[in-house]
A = this chain, B = another copy of it.
């Protein structure tokens, strides 16, 4: 079985956000899969997807602090600056964190660890709604 579905995440503020529930609710067909994989792909180059801790919101805050320091705005060597000082760092964060996650499915559910959730990394100050393409496969 193969299935694809494109949908839009609601607009988020800059930072990291748990989106596991939105993904699962967009995909009721998950429960038809006994063994499979879900590919979650973000169709943008200034936001990212990653897996991390799903319980304590300070993890998301510390992640944002870390990446803002590690990938500075306004570095003197940047040449791609026309779209704002948050743009080039957003591209770099997108490649450091990745544009997709691949998630195992078992018995009709995502088979994540107890503390794992799916994060949206919104790296622009005003990124707006983000398009997500889900590709589900399995049996």
Name which of A7-15, A18-26, A51-59 contacts chain B: A51-59
Is A128's CB within 8 Å of the partner chain B? no
Q: How many copies does the complex hold?
A: 3
Chain A interface size band reads 35 or more
B98 touches A2 (CB 8 A): no
Main secondary structure of the interface of A (DSSP, over half): mixed
**Which residues in A have some Cβ–Cβ distance to B below 8 Å?**
2-4, 35-37, 39, 41-45, 50-53, 56, 58-59, 61-63, 65-66, 69-71, 75, 77-80, 88, 91-92, 94-104, 106, 111-116, 119, 131, 133, 135, 137-139
**Inter-subunit contact B61/A79 (CB<8 Å):** yes
